[in-house]
Structure 1
């Protein structure tokens, strides 16, 4: 099939988004599809006007680790990022230096660094550690990030997101114009301070992706 682009709007520190992104990447590899995931910023700190309280993400992570245990660990770093905008900026820098595929790889490395390795991705040292696992020109990407102008890219994308039918993080937009919120994991609610997953469909991301080839 011809190369296709699937656009994903999400927050890098959203564990629900990490599940969706991971499952989409696995499905792409298993099906051998020529698809790129165009990762776009939907920073919850801008959406909500405040940072995500520290206690929320570990609770969500503990629940979701039962569904995707290979991508989650306990966040045991005493340093909790006060902002995730620097991580979004690194993805934008990779897109400027290379292309959308490189940006996708940097985005995934940042999610893995945060959720698996408990790395603070709000500081340069943390961003450098995440980049170590990505096949990009690391020096050039960091130089672009250091220049500071990539913040404009992130904010421009966020402004664009306001005109889109985004229900939450993640929101996946398919090439035919259709969109799916949190594929396979939408049937949940918070009860007693814990997200209760009523039902899950782990195969939905793969089915939606394979439909591109039909």
Structure 2
């Protein structure tokens, strides 16, 4: 599987449950809207739970949400406010849905990216359990460029699952460094662009993230590159 993106397209490896990936994608999309520049994002799964053989721990995700949300309040993020029993234990169904939505009969790359953004909003802002199909399909029904009925049929047939596992195997190679990792034509590659972050210690032992700064100029530079190569 190649990371070489088509001109005007960004290939983004990430997990929907990764706050740093969600920050990067929000920054890129928001900057493109401000510039009135049309871009396409080809999403590839970096499924953290498959790498780590466990659900991504809430005690790691929530401190990241807090430090990111405090620095970038326009995101509207908040810590989980739903019932504890509804907290997503897996993001694989959501990642599979984003892959399934790439089918032109469902939404294509534009619909897939729209669904990815909407699922992240559902989790980080609305505290919705994006582990279950009913929530995913309800989110999809509100996406302008996604045919939710076609997506429902595709997911019933298991569409997207093989792609997620194939992408996981590809992401185990040395080229993909983590979530997020962005690629574009012209040789652009950047892992987790923007944040200056340090952990005070091992998060499994109570360490916390410290976000010392965030430089969003990377998005301008990437969009400049896309405009030149399109």
TM-score if structure 2 supplies the norm length?
Answer: 0.86
Q: Is the 8 A contact 2:98 2:160 kept in 1?
A: no
Give, in whole Å, the separation in 2 of the partners of 1:149 and 1:22: 26
Superposed CA RMSD: 1.7
Counterpart pick for 2:188 among 166, 178, 182: 178
Matched, 1:119 2:119: no
The residue aligned with 1:137 is: 147
- Which of 38, 42, 45 is the aligned partner of 2:42? 38
Deviating more after overlay: 109-118 vs 121-130: 121-130
Q: 1:199 to 1:95 in 2, by over 3 A?
A: same
Structure 1: stretches of 5+ with no match in the other structure: none
Tell me the residue number matched to 1:167.
Answer: 177
Residue 98 of structure 2, aligned match among 86, 91, 94: 91
Deviation digits for residues 107-150 of structure 1 (CA, Å, limit 9, x no counterpart): 11111100010000001222123213211211111110111242
- Give me the whole-angstrom Cα distance separating, in 2, the residues matched to 1:90 and 1:129: 12
Contact 1:23 1:206 in 2 (8 A): no
The CA deviation at 1:32 is 2.3
How do 1:9-48 residues align onto structure 2 when only pairs under 5 Å count? Answer: 9-48=13-52
TM-score by length of 1: 0.92
Is 1:6–2:15 an aligned residue pair? no
2:68 pairs with one of 57, 64, 71: 64
Which whole-Å CA distance do the structure 2 matches of 1:54 and 1:48 have between them? 14
Say if 1:37 and 1:164 are closer, same or farther in 2 by CA, change over 3 A.
Answer: farther
CA distance in 1 between partners of 2:71 and 2:224 (Å): 21
For structure 2, the 5+ residue unaligned runs are: 1-5, 202-206
Q: Report if the CA contact (8 A) 1:12-1:88 is conserved.
A: yes
Stretch of structure 1 that moved more, 15-24 or 61-70: 61-70
Q: Counterpart of 1:155?
A: 165
CA displacement at 1:164 relative to structure 2? 5.1
1:28-81, CA deviations, whole angstroms, 9 ceiling, x for partnerless residues? 112222320111100000122221111111111000002222321221122121
**Contact (CA 8 Å) 1:105, 1:134: kept in 2 or not?**
yes
Deviation, 1:163, is 3.2
1:3–1:34 Cα contact (<8 Å) kept: no
Q: Secondary structure at the match of 2:70?
A: coil
Q: Equivalent residue for 1:201? A: 215
Give 1:184 deviation, angstroms: 0.8
CA contact (8 A) 1:3 1:35 kept: no
